[in-house]
Structure 1
Amino acid sequence: MAAFPTEGMELTRLLVVSDVARSRAWYEGVLGAEVEREYEGACVLRLLGAWLLLVTGGGPTPDKPTVVFGPPLDPDRVSAETIFRVPDCSGAYETLRARGAQFLAPPVDRGYEIRAFFRDPDGHLFEISELTG
């Protein structure tokens, strides 16, 4: 039996987007992601040593017969987010804002961490977080 996880494995985060070209530009320009490759309806990005796959929505397939992929319907109802642990939340906030990120609020000091939230063009939630305690 093969071990899991084991050396040589990598993790990819898949996000369903409404417009791959628009999202690609946002992820490159705002987050600094690098494009690895593109194919019809998808873009593979590299970000902080991890893979990010942007895809358009689609219906069930033989290997996922009841699953429909679609971008978030309501950005205020979140079941997952992506968190960036940063050494300086205020600095990251200013840099990302200058690149076009639209934050829900300025960074908030919660005593043990300073954090701020923003969304991509489809409403996927992101957080920058600085541990302080």
Structure 2
Amino acid sequence: MINIANAQLWVHDQDEALAFYTKKLDMEVRSDVTVPEMGNFRWLTVGPTNQPDFAIVLMAIPGPPLMDDATTAQVHDLMSKGFAGTVFLTTDDCEATYRDLKSRGVEFTETPEQRPYGIDAGFRDPSGNQFRLTQLNVSFGG
């Protein structure tokens, strides 16, 4: 059997990302390890408290030798446009979760709206990663 353990998001600043994910999205730190032998590489993961077997890796965008300057610039550019990936979150009550996250300082790009699959809203993290917050219709698998 295969399970998904981690998913990775590029972040501009790991400390800023850590504060956003733990203070605004109420996730918990799963690991925060710096490896001096690898040039002080930092392995930083967070996850929802109710999903202990899954974590999001908050990965700093590397430079040379892992990425050349042009590739690093491309990643930054895609992130600034919100096209480096999307995380899909589900909730039992999109409106209530929207109000709660907004009160914590999460800036939404789209307010909750009724869609064919449920109620859906959008926001981005400080690095530009997109999030969809969705309350799925029961008939759609929610």
Q: What TM-score comes out, normalization by structure 2 length?
A: 0.73
Amino acid at match of 2:45: V
Contact 1:109–1:115 (8 Å) recurs in 2: yes
Q: CA deviation at 1:104?
A: 0.7
> CA deviation digits over 1:1-45, x for unaligned, max 9?
xxxxx26x4421111111110110000011111112212434121
Q: CA deviation at 1:113?
A: 1.2
Indicate the percent of aligned positions where both proteins have the same amino acid: 24
- Say which is worse superposed, 86-95 or 29-38, in terms of deviation: 29-38
Q: Residues of 1 paired with 2:117 and 2:20: CA distance?
A: 30
Which runs of no fewer than 5 residues in structure 1 stay unpaired? 1-5
Amino acid at match of 1:53: V
Contact 1:115–1:130 (8 Å) recurs in 2: yes
User: 1:129 maps to which residue?
Assistant: 134
CA-based RMSD: 2.6
Q: CA deviation at 1:112?
A: 3.2
Secondary structure of 1:106's counterpart equals: strand
User: 1:88 maps to which residue?
Assistant: 93
Counterpart check, 1:54 vs 2:65: no
User: 1:17 maps to which residue?
Assistant: 11
User: 2:37 maps to which residue?
Assistant: none
Amino acid at match of 1:55: M
Tell me: CA distance 1:121–1:77, structure 2 relative to 1, closer, same or farther (3 Å).
Answer: closer
Contact 1:118–1:127 (8 Å) recurs in 2: yes
The counterpart of 1:107, out of the listed 112, 117, 128, is: 112
> CA deviation digits over 1:27-78, x for unaligned, max 9?
001111111221243412122422111121114668x99xx56754244452
Q: Residues of 2 paired with 1:59 and 1:25: CA distance?
A: 23
User: 1:45 maps to which residue?
Assistant: 46
Higher helix share: 2
The total of aligned residue pairs comes to 125
Q: Residues of 2 paired with 1:33 and 1:69: CA distance?
A: 28
Contact 1:108–1:116 (8 Å) recurs in 2: yes
